[in-house]
Amino acid sequence: MADRDKVVNVSVAQDITVEGPNSENSMVITFSRKYNYEGEEYGQVDLSGLEDMTATDMIAANKILEKSGSFSFLPEMSLEYACIISARATKMPLEFFQRLHPRDAIKVKNKVTSFFYGEG
């Protein structure tokens, strides 16, 4: 057998992370049902804009939270704060997040909170 006809099997172990809409690491949240907001239907929201935020964005969110009359020792754990941060991250109106179905609002809150605490 000539050298060019030899078959070599090489096995390489790799740590591969797949980030599709359904993976834990994805910043895309799929809604439990279609969501109609201002005449448009949404099935998901992409929170990858969280990656580009700064402490300035968080401070601005705190100010909005304070103006609303809400108070929390850990604002980043509140649903209202998560909605404010999500609106800034996606450039969507705050009302988009405030009108989500409760199950989907909790998905958003959990994703924002886990992002802040480095869990995904």
CA distance 81 to 20: 26
Quick one: tokens of 1? 């057998």
Q: What percent of the chain has pLDDT over 70?
A: 78
Is 60 exceeded by the pLDDT of residue 87? yes
Q: What range does the domain containing 41 cover?
A: 3-116
Alpha carbons within 13 A on the beta-carbon side of 26: 14
As for how many domains the chain has, the answer is: 1
pTM of the model: 0.76
Q: What is the pLDDT of residues 3-20, one digit of tens each?
A: 555 444 444 444 333 444
pLDDT of residue 71: 76
| 3-class SS letters over 23-88 | CCCCCEEEEEEEEEECCEEEEEEECHHHHHCCHHHHHHHHHHHHHCCCCCCCHHHCHHHHHHHHHH
